[in-house]
């Protein structure tokens, strides 16, 4: 089972490398959103530090939504998805591998880039560290929940808009606790509870969403 999981991840990573324009568009969108805010509100350090967690997290959330369209669309278009459904391997394992690959090409780069934006927004070392950890815990949840929305709207006209409407309400708790952890660290309040809740969300999503995505894919293909 581990071999199958690794093969699915490797395949999707190779496809992402060959279609790197889609990945770069997502990262560029994230950079543009985050960098435009300081230019728009001014260079006041206290204000920048106050809004930094929310700005970075909202930008990461929007970038994750932007990248959901390619999660299953190419496989659906060329018939690969039907072969996956007919495969003897567990579909939930294949889904988990595709979500992991999606995170590796979107969530992980966004998390690494947040270190630079911690400097841009004049965050302290501790606040930047908490921001990175919160994104490490939260962005996989965005990929897993987003996979459910992408599977439900697969093949529909205007599916991108429907996906956004489906996943945005589910993304809100992750956004609140992710940015709240950094805000708590900046205020000198205990922030461990926020990170633990993000970890609980990740565990919960890792267990349940692959089953939901597998069911949604079967419904969409049929």
| pLDDT tens figures, 94-140 | 999 999 999 999 999 999 999 988 888 888 889 999 999 999 999 99
Q: How many domains does the chain fold into?
A: 1
Residue 34's domain spans which residues? 2-221
- Please state the rounded mean pLDDT for residues 19-29: 86
pTM of the complete model: 0.91
Residue 158's pLDDT is 64
Q: Chain-centre distance of CA 99, in angstroms?
A: 9
Which tokens is 167 given? 């996943």
Look at residue 159 and tell me whether its pLDDT is greater than 80. Answer: no
Indicate the range of 68-77, 110-119, 183-192 predicted with least confidence. Answer: 68-77
pLDDT > 70 in the chain, percent:
99
pLDDT > 90 in the chain, percent:
45
What is the rounded distance in angstroms from the CA atom of residue 8 to the CA atom of residue 94? 6
What is the rounded distance in angstroms from the CA atom of residue 97 to the CA atom of residue 171? 21
Please, are residues 48 and 121 in contact by the beta-carbon 8 Å criterion? yes
Residue 147's pLDDT is 92
Determine how many CB atoms are found less than 10 A away from the CB of residue 148.
26
What is the rounded distance in angstroms from the CA atom of residue 90 to the CA atom of residue 121? 45
Residue 193's pLDDT is 93
């Amino acid at each position: 089972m581990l071999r199958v999981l690794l093969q699915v991840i490797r395949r999707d990573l190779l496809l992402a490398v060959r279609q790197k324009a889609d990945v770069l568009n997502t990262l560029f969108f994230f950079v543009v959103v985050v960098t435009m805010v300081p230019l728009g509100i001014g260079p006041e350090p206290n204000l920048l530090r106050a809004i930094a967690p929310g700005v970075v997290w909202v930008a990461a959330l929007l970038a994750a939504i932007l990248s959901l369209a390619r999660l299953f669309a190419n496989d659906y278009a060329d018939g690969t998805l039907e072969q996956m459904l007919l495969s003897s391997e567990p579909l939930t394992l294949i889904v988990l591998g595709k979500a992991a690959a999606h995170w590796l090409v979107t969530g992980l780069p966004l998390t690494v880039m947040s270190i630079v934006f911690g400097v841009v927004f004049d965050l302290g070392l501790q606040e930047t560290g908490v921001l990175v950890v919160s994104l490490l815990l939260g962005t996989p949840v965005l990929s897993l929940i987003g996979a459910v929305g992408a599977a439900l709207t697969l093949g529909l006209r205007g599916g991108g808009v429907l996906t956004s409407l489906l996943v945005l309400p589910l993304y809100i708790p992750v956004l609140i606790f992710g940015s709240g952890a950094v805000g708590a660290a900046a205020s000198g309040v205990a922030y461990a509870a926020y990170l633990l809740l993000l970890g609980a969300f990740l565990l919960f999503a890792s267990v349940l969403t692959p089953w939901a995505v597998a069911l949604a894919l079967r419904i969409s293909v049929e």
